[in-house]
Homo-oligomer: A and B are copies of this chain.
Amino acid sequence: MTRVSIVGGSGFGGGEVLRLLLSHPHVEVGQVTSRRLAGKPVTKAHPNLRGATALKFIHPDELLPCDVLILALAHGEAVRQWDALAPMAERFIDLSADFRLRDPAVYETAYGAHPRPELLETFVYGLAEAGREALRGATHVATGGCNATVSALAVLPFHEAGIIEPDRSVLDVKVGSSEGGARGNSASHHPVRSGVVRPYKATGHRHATEVEMLLSEYGPARVHLSVTAVEMVRGSSVLAHLFLKEAVTSRDIWAILRGRYGSEPFVRLVSERTGDYRFPEPKLLSGTNYCDIGFELDEASERLVVVAAIDNLMKGAAGQAVQALNLMLGWDEVAGLGFPGLHPI
C-alpha cells in the first residue's frame, strides 16, 4: 500500500480526496492536517465519513514523511510552505492554483508575480485528457481549476480540429456554492445565496488564462469567460458558444468528439434527441469523476454550442487528483473512482 497524506484536509476539496482515498485499493491514508481542527475527528469537517474512519486531524507541525502528499491548501499557501513540504514526500499533487500555469509571465497576469517562479516548470498539469503521458511517472502534479477543466474539455477538440474561430469562443459557466469553499461569508449566507443567478465573475476570471494556456498547444486561442453562481451546491457547467470557420454537420462534430474522447474513461458524450436528460447535467455527476459533453449545432448562425458538466469537487479537484495519482503510480487509471452517481438527485 502507498501511504498518502493530505495537507489542508478540512476543506471541501481535501474532504473529497479523503473520501476517495479511504476506499482506494492501493492507498493507505496517512495523516490529514488542519490547523483549525487539529485533534478533532475528521468527521467534524466531513460528516459523511462517520463510521468510515476514526482518523483525527493533526496539526501541520506533526506531519510525517509519506509516499505521496496531496496539498489542498488555500491559494498561495502551497508555494509559501513549499520548503517545509518538499522534504516530506517524493510525490506531490497540489489542488491549488499555485503551480498550474507553466509560464511565470502568464501567472503574473492572472495572480500577480509568482513568489517562486522557478518551481512552475517542475509541475505537470493534472488533467489527464489534456496530457496523459506527462502524468505517467510524474512526481509533481498541479490539478486544473474546476471551471478551466470543464471549459477546456469543451473547447479542446474543436480548437484542435481547427474548425472554430480561435478568438471568439464565449464560455458561459454556471457553478454551485461549493466553489466558494468551506468557509462562508455574507454572500454565502443561505437567505442571500439561495436561488441566485449571480454573475460572480463576469469578466477577468483567472481560469480564462488557464483555458487559453491549454488551448494554445494547438494554436493561439482567446476565450471570453463569465461565471455565474446558480442554485446548486456541486457542479460546474459550461455552455460554450463556438463560432465555426465554415459550415459543418452534426456528423462532423460527433466524429471529432469520438476521435478525441472515444477511449477516455471519464468523458461521456451526452447528446440525445429525446428524453429528460438530453444534455450533460451536473447534478447527475455529483460524486463522480465524469465530464459529460454534448452539443447542438445552430446552423442558422454557424454557431456550435457545446455543453459540458463536471462535479467541481471531483473532476474539478479531488477526482482529477486521484486520476492523476493513478497515472503517476502506474495503477489502473480508474481505481477508486468507480462511483457512477445518483438518480434522482
From A47-55, A95-103, A132-140, the one touching the partner chain is: A47-55
Kindly report which residue of chain B lies nearest to residue A193, judged by CB atoms.
Answer: B190
Residues of chain A from 196 to 239 with CB closer than 8 A to chain B in the complex: 196-199, 202-204, 222, 224, 226, 228, 230-235, 237, 239
Residue from the set A190, A340, A342 with the largest chain B CB neighbour count within 10 Å: A190
A197 touches B340 (CB 8 A): no
Q: Which of B189, B292, B342 contacts A287 (CB 8 A)?
A: B342
Residues in chain B near residue A192, CB distance under 8 A: 184, 276, 344
Instruction: Select one of B46, B276, B342 contacting A286, CB under 8 A.
Output: B342
> Closest residue of chain B to A299, judged by CB?
B203
Contact check, A343 vs B47: say whether CB atoms are below 8 A apart: yes
Q: Are the C-beta atoms of B203 and A191 separated by less than 8 Å? A: no
Number of copies: 4
Of B48, B184, B194, B232, the contact of A342 (CB 8 Å cutoff): B48
User: Chain A interface: which size bin?
Assistant: 35 or more
Indicate which residue in B188, B204, B230, B235 contacts A184 across the interface (CB closer than 8 Å): B188
Q: Which residues in window 245-288 of A have CB below 8 A to B? A: 268, 270, 275-277, 279, 281-284, 286-287
Chain A residues in the interface with B (C-beta under 8 A): 12, 15, 19, 22-23, 44, 46-52, 168, 170, 172, 174, 176-178, 180, 182-199, 202-204, 222, 224, 226, 228, 230-235, 237, 239, 241, 268, 270, 275-277, 279, 281-284, 286-287, 290, 292, 296-298, 300-301, 303, 305, 307, 309, 313, 338-345
User: Knowing that A48-B340, A222-B301, A287-B342 are A-B contacts, what are 18 other residue pairs whose CB atoms are under 8 Å apart, sorted by A's residue number?
Assistant: A12-B191, A46-B343, A50-B292, A190-B233, A191-B344, A192-B344, A194-B194, A195-B345, A197-B237, A197-B282, A197-B309, A198-B281, A199-B307, A202-B296, A203-B301, A226-B239, A287-B287, A339-B339
